[in-house]
Amino acid sequence: MTSLVVDNIGTLLTNDPDAGAGATGVVRDAALVVDSGRVVWFGPRDDQPEGTDERVDAEGRAVIPGFVDSHAHLVFAGDRTGEFAARMAGKAYSAGGIASTVAATRAADEPSLGANLRALVAEALASGTTTIECKSGYGLTAFDEARSLQIASSATDEVTYLGAHLVPPEFAGRADDYVELVCGEMLDACAPFARWVDVFCDRGAFDRDQSRHVLEAGASRGLIPRIHANQLGPGPGVEVAVAVGAASADHCSYLSDSDVDALASSSTVATLLPAAEFSTRSPYPDARRLLAAGVTVALASDCNPGSSFTTSMPLCIALAVREMRMSPDEALWSATKGGAEALRRDDIGNLAVGARADFVLLRAPSHVHLAYRPGVQLVAAVWRQGKLCG
């Protein structure tokens, strides 16, 4: 692969704290040099090394790391337009809607599930997402969950086993029996295709003991825990996350003081999903309280057909800034480096020397425009592993 220099960058955000002002490592009037899919140099453009093969003129615009979307549910069929319309007319969101997507997903064939997944991944890429995590959770049989994970693996290397998304209708009233399946035969079928194990620990889904059992069973097979926690109300999700050393506790909309303290003294990232609150018309999580306590905060889309049908990380950033009072710098960091930390990756979400050359040229002089100009397509071009996409 030939080397590339992106020159004349007005604002370069590296997320390399050694590089410049603040955690986002900002360099003004910068250049970025890429070779063999990795960052090999960045700095003031006047100091750039000579002799690169290809040159891109950023025309004074901003370059940021590609977004790392660490929470998405992309293997499904059908949509839930009717449920959304009913919700906008006043009906509350509940976990129960998941069952209708489960029925549609079981009935769908592999090519159509794969095509839907690829379309969503392409949509995410067009809005700047260069890494996306993908969960199963709409199959809920050993066969359908393993099939979902195999399909997910064809589009991303961050694949999560979420057999414990909901107790499926055929196990109604027998939740513990279903948990045994999730931790037994279904785990056997799924473990080879996933890196992570997840559980929906909430009202209408799985309780403390069931959730812990699922995460520990997954961990015993080499899967790393992450969890849907405290989305619909207060509950034990965060406690379970910290007890099992989960990489991330996701949603965190209803937290007690002890939940916040537990997160602050752990390595578990709090992943906030403001597009879910936006789409379910629910109260946003208290990001400022988490940040003040020193918790590492990530932002992700939660793209799924029920509670958050968007792949747009710029939307999540705009909501985080406007509704959750994160600063534009905090929101940008959480949507890039924060997501990488939630996925325990140090090669993405930053543009330090040696990092993967996943980056976005904005049609704007700074990343602040992502919140300042909500709903506007500000992504001018995206590079993944040093290659221009699209």
Binding residues vs ligand NIG (CB under 6 A):
73, 97-98, 101, 200, 228, 231, 276, 302, 304-308
CB 189 within 8 A of CB 148: no
What's the sign of the alpha-carbon dihedral 20, 371, 64, 307?
positive
Q: Which is nearer to Fe ion, 302 or 330 (CB)?
A: 302
Of the pair 40, 102, the CB lying nearest ligand NIG is at: 102
Q: Which of residues 302-331 bind Fe ion (CB under 5 A)?
A: 302
Is 374 buried (19+), middle (13-18) or exposed (0-12) by CB count in 10 A? middle
Taking the C-alpha atoms of residue 161 and residue 135, their distance in angstroms, rounded to an integer, is: 6
**Least distance between ligand NIG and beta carbon 76 (Å):** 8
307 binding partner (options Fe ion, ligand NIG, none; Cβ < 5 to 8 Å by kind): ligand NIG
Between 42 and 138, name the residue whose CB sits nearer to Fe ion. Answer: 138
* Whole-angstrom distance, CA of residue 388 vs CA of residue 390: 7
Q: Kindly tell me which of 131 and 282 has the beta carbon lying closer to ligand NIG.
A: 282
Closest CA to 107 of 139, 152, 68, 63: 139
Q: How far is the CB of 297 from ligand NIG (least distance, A)?
A: 17
Residue 338 binds which one of ligand NIG, Fe ion, none, with CB within 5 to 8 A depending on kind?
none
Q: Which of ligand NIG, Fe ion, none interacts with 42 (beta carbon under 5 to 8 A by kind)? A: none
Task: State the sign of the Cα–Cα–Cα–Cα dihedral 113, 115, 116, 117.
Answer: positive
In the complex, what is the shortest distance from the CB of residue 223 to ligand NIG, in angstroms, rounded to a whole number?
18
Nearer to ligand NIG, 140 or 355 (CB): 140
Secondary structure, 3-state, 78-112: CCCHHHHHHHHCCCCCCHHHHHHHHHHHHHCCHHH
Residue 353 neighbours by CB distance under 10 Å: 15
Nearer of residues 162 and 360 to Fe ion, judged by Cβ:
162
Q: How many CA atoms lie within 13 A of 104 on its CB side?
A: 16
145 belongs to the binding site for Fe ion (CB under 5 A): no
3-state SS class at 29:
strand
Smallest gap from Cβ 84 to Fe ion, in A, equals 16
Which is nearer to ligand NIG, 6 or 303 (by Cβ)? Answer: 303
- 16-24, Cβ contacts within 8 angstroms, sequence gap of 24 or more: 16/350, 16/351, 16/352, 16/353, 18/352, 19/352, 22/329, 23/329, 23/333, 23/337, 24/329, 24/332, 24/333
Residues 6+ apart with CB under 8 A from 91: none
Q: Measured at CB, which residue is nearest to ligand NIG? A: 306
**C-beta of 132 vs 357, nearer to Fe ion:** 132
The closest alpha carbon to 274, from 302, 255, 296, belongs to: 302
Least CB distance from residue 378 to ligand NIG, whole Å? Answer: 26
Q: How far is the CB of 92 from Fe ion (least distance, A)?
A: 17
Q: Which stretches of 99-247 are assigned E, i.e. beta strand?
A: 129-135, 158-164, 196-201, 224-225, 227-229
Residue 42 Cβ vs ligand NIG, minimum distance, rounded to whole Å? 36
Among 302, 297, 300, which Cα is nearest to 326's? 297
Q: What is the CA radius of gyration of the chain?
A: 21
What is the nearest approach in angstroms of ligand NIG to the Cβ of residue 98? 4
Supply the minimum distance, in Å, between the C-beta of residue 135 and ligand NIG.
8
Instruction: Please report, as residue ranges, which positions from 278 to 307 form the binding site for Fe ion (by CB under 5 A).
Output: 302
235 binds, among ligand NIG, Fe ion, none (CB under 5 to 8 A by kind): none
Given the complex with ligand NIG, which of 130 and 253 has the nearer CB atom?
253
Judged by beta carbon distances under 5 to 8 A according to partner kind, the member of Fe ion, ligand NIG, none in contact with residue 98 is ligand NIG
Residues at the contact surface with Fe ion, assessed by CB under 5 A = 302
